[in-house]
Structure 1
Amino acid sequence: MSTTMKTTNTTLTGERADLHQALSNCRHFLRFTAQNLTNEQASTRTTVSELTVGGLIKHVTAMELQWQQFMIRGKAAMARDGVDFYNMPPEALEAFGAEFSMQPTEQLAGLLEKYAHVAEETDRLLAEIDLETVHELPRAPWFVDTHWSVRRTLLHIIAETTQHAGHADIIRVSLDGQKTMG
């Protein structure tokens, strides 16, 4: 039995439909954690971690956008390419940390809207891109591999979104008891 999935203007089948469905599911769970939150709640820490629901949505948006560009342009698209990830300068570390933080001037609705736009672009890309294309990764302590295919990059987006949806769920439960599932 073949899987079929309709994106904005494209019908995906087989592996592409499966990748799209997995990505759609984990995005749903991340967005669900933000449901009915105020901006103050979305920027509230509920654990010893610096993470917040709004900050996680902001980070996942930036992460998906960066990997989207990696799938198209390879290593050159990595925003921090050229930075020594093993010895990052303070300003680079600060910029990376801000990616996880919902700033006082940011609104949850705006973060969710930007996330939706990035997701739409990834979905359009998934419909057309060659999944077999392989790109070199930048040297960094969090990469075990040296190269990823577009397929592997999509799987990474799914994994990272799922991981952060779990983080957001813990934060949300600590805020007001709402759970994503169960």
Structure 2
Amino acid sequence: MAGTYTSVGPSVDVTGEKLDLVTILADQRGMLAITARGISDEQARRRTTVSEFTLVSLIAHVASVIRGNVTMLEERDENSTVDFSGSGEPEAPESIEQVLAELDSAGRALEQCIAALGSLDDLIPQPTAPWAPERIWWTARRVLLHLLREIAHHSGHADIIREALDGQSTMGVVAGDMGLEF
């Protein structure tokens, strides 16, 4: 797909700003998936930083965050709160292939959700949380831009984990795919 680092493209037929958002979100998920290319299940479970996250648990976390945002965009629950049960990101039980398949599935659900949105200006109630005890409303656009930032943040963390595993960087893989040295 022109204008992206990955060959990942949208799974829905949208135009305009929705196409831009779907494309960049798909590309960012594709970059995260590249981080795990060529990694064994054992490597994907290895901690390489002081963080509790491993590649498999970090990718599972991102898939879960995407699913949570789809639910928020679709349900628009004015009584939702951030659920801290299960926080601490326990090691995902799935293989790296299963976690990547879940990331892909969550991404397709997100794209379908974006396609179904009436308008990116629709107001979406945000869950209350200790850091945001009062209900606030964001546009669907802001929710999606925040999600993009969240995926990018975790992609950077995943890249650090991968580099500590075997010295490979995501951009190194992308450059290699293009026949370039990085």
Q: TM-score, normalised by structure 2?
A: 0.81
Q: Which residue of 1 aligns with 2:147?
A: 157
One-letter amino acid matched to 1:134:
L
Identity of aligned residues (%): 33
142-151 or 26-35, larger mean C-alpha shift: 142-151
Q: Write the distance in 2 (CA, Å) between the matches of 1:45 and 1:74.
A: 37
Q: Find 1:147's aligned residue among 124, 137, 140.
A: 137
Structure 1 residues 146 and 76, CA, compared in 2 at 3 Å: closer, same or farther?
Answer: closer
Structure 1 residues 82 and 25, CA, compared in 2 at 3 Å: closer, same or farther?
Answer: closer
One-letter amino acid matched to 2:75:
R
Query: Is 2:87 the counterpart of 1:96?
Result: yes
Q: CA deviation at 1:110?
A: 0.8
Q: Find 1:180's aligned residue among 144, 164, 170.
A: 170
Alpha-carbon displacement from aligned partner over 1:59-118 (angstroms, at most 9, x marks no partner):
00110001101001123585xx376xxxx6xxx2xx122xx3334x42111111111111
Contact 2:73 2:140 in 1 (8 A): yes
Q: TM-score, normalised by structure 1?
A: 0.81
Alpha-carbon displacement from aligned partner over 1:21-51 (angstroms, at most 9, x marks no partner):
1101211111011111111111111011111
Query: Is 2:136 the counterpart of 1:133?
Result: no
CA RMSD of aligned residues (A): 2.4
Q: How does 1:88-127 map to 2 (within 5 A)?
A: 92=85, 95-97=86-88, 100-103=89-92, 105-127=93-115
Q: Find 1:70's aligned residue among 69, 72, 77.
A: 72
Q: Write the distance in 2 (CA, Å) between the matches of 1:124 and 1:30.
A: 20
Q: Write the distance in 1 (CA, Å) between the matches of 2:82 and 2:69.
A: 16
Structure 1 residues 65 and 37, CA, compared in 2 at 3 Å: closer, same or farther?
Answer: same
Structure 1 residues 162 and 40, CA, compared in 2 at 3 Å: closer, same or farther?
Answer: same
Q: Write the distance in 1 (CA, Å) between the matches of 2:98 and 2:147.
A: 21
Q: Write the distance in 1 (CA, Å) between the matches of 2:170 and 2:22.
A: 20
Q: Show structure 2 runs of 5+ residues with no match.
A: 4-8, 172-181
Q: How does 1:46-57 map to 2 (within 5 A)?
A: 46-57=48-59
